[in-house]
Amino acid sequence: MGYESDTKYGTNERGARNLPEQLKAHWRDLPGAVRWGGIGVAALVLIWIVYGWAFGGESLTYRTATATRGTIEQTVTALGSLQPKDYVDVGAQVSGQLKKVYVEVGDEVKEGDLLAEIDAKTYETELAAARARLVQLESELAGSQAEFTLAQRQYKRNLELARIDAVSRDDLDTSETAVKTTQATIASLTAQIEQQKSTVEGAEVNLGYTKIYAPMNGTVTSQTALQGQTLNANQTAPTILTISDLSTMTVEAEVAEADVGRLSPGMPVYFTTLGAANERWRSTVRQILPTPEIENDVVLYTVLVDIANPDGKLMKDMTTQVFFLLGEAQDAITVPVGAVSEGADGKSYVSVMTEDGPRPRQVEVGLTNRVSAEIRSGLDEGETVVTGIASGTESGAASSRRMPGFL
């Protein structure tokens, strides 16, 4: 943007008497296309001259700016906050007293590191009881298998004796029943043993859950349970601490519904933080979440932007000012947006300051934002344009006016 300044250009009675000559001079200065096709623009010039004549004897001060080269951006802005892209809440899967916590907030951990322990006495007792019951069932099975072997021998003997009528029918039936009974007992004990093995395995798993290990590499970013606290995992798994991967952060930007339609995944974006307002982090839009949040009847959509954080300068919950880049022109001639106006012919004009005062000139305007406008043609770097009338000295009173027909 050009530096704005005030330039005085006086009008007097002589200037008023020479109004026709001034009008002819202005007419000759206009480009041919404007001179013959811009009747509305000529009218604006006449208004400007009459304005100067009407204030004959008053010295006008014009507010001006210099056309400079620079970068102009068209953006959608939003506020956001930084969060780790990947994180996990580490909780307890069994109930009990938190016996020991081995890490603190800020510690770096590796996957598999021991983080905390829950009092394991109850689970050790349960495992011992389950194993003892398993041993008992296996002993009963061994006894039943021995009985089954004996019953089979007895039945076979009676079956041989029955062929020569050396044993009664009742004895034969009794021996056959004994075989089937012990066979059923063996099947029942086998099923009980398999069930008890599952019980033992479950007790072993629960005992293992009393030691809590890191599920990923990262940094401990919060701790919600304290050493000595009793945890109840019967309904929901209580969170003990949070591990975050801070090497990649995500900006969660809240964008108004009026602007979110102009955004799309993959579009360029940059942001600044409160602590480093002059440093820009550049990335692209990863995702626009479809479900909005409504705050005080304002509908806001969350837009996610990922950014690498190798040096750890970006931290959790930092406030960010996010700029979604709709368009950008580099090394462009720019002027204050207030220096550009639309003529009656629908074309864009600026008022260029010359030795004889302001002169209108048609320009081609590119990108614009709230502050600056890109001039693609019609104006050179270093030229001075009028942005308004700053003041007049009539009766010693200062006033502020806008250039008629231009601003």
Listing DSSP states for 79-93 in one string gives EEEEEEEEEEEEE-S
- What pLDDT score was predicted for residue 389? 84
Q: What is the pLDDT of residue 356?
A: 87
Structure confidence at residue 9 (pLDDT): 53
**Residue 384 exposure: Cα atoms within 13 Å on the Cβ side:** 15
- Give the CATH number for residue 13: 2.40.420.20
Residues 58 and 36 reside in one and the same domain: yes
* Domain boundary residue, one of 305, 327, 349: 327
362 Cβ contact list (under 8 Å, min separation 6): 31, 33, 34, 38, 41, 343, 347, 348, 349, 378
Q: Which of 281, 298, 327 is the last residue of a domain?
A: 327
| 124 in the same domain as 203 | yes
Instruction: Look at residue 4 in the predicted model and tell me its pLDDT.
Output: 56
> Which residue range forms the structural domain that includes residue 11?
4-67+340-396
Low-confidence stretches of the chain (pLDDT < 50) are 1-3, 11-24, 26-27, 30-46, 49-50, 53-57, 393-407
Together in a domain, 197 and 161: yes
197 and 124 together in one domain: yes
Each residue's pLDDT tens digit, 194-249? 999 999 999 999 999 999 999 999 999 999 999 999 999 887 778 999 999 999 99
- Predicted confidence at residue 33, as pLDDT, reads 41
- How much is the pLDDT for 59? 65
In this structure, which long-range contacts are made by residues 400-406, counting pairs with CB atoms below 8 Å and at least 24 apart in sequence? 403/48, 403/62, 403/351, 403/358, 404/44, 404/47, 404/48, 404/51, 405/43, 405/44, 405/45, 405/47, 405/48, 405/341, 405/343, 406/44, 406/48, 406/341, 406/349, 406/350, 406/351, 406/360
pLDDT at 390: 74
Residue 20's CB is within 10 A of a number of other CB atoms, namely 9
**Any domain includes 223:** no
Helix (H, G, I), strand (E, B) or coil at 266: coil
- Both 40 and 80 in one domain: the answer is no
Q: Is residue 82 part of a domain?
A: yes
126 and 60 inside one domain:
no
CATH no. for residue 295?
Answer: 2.40.30.170
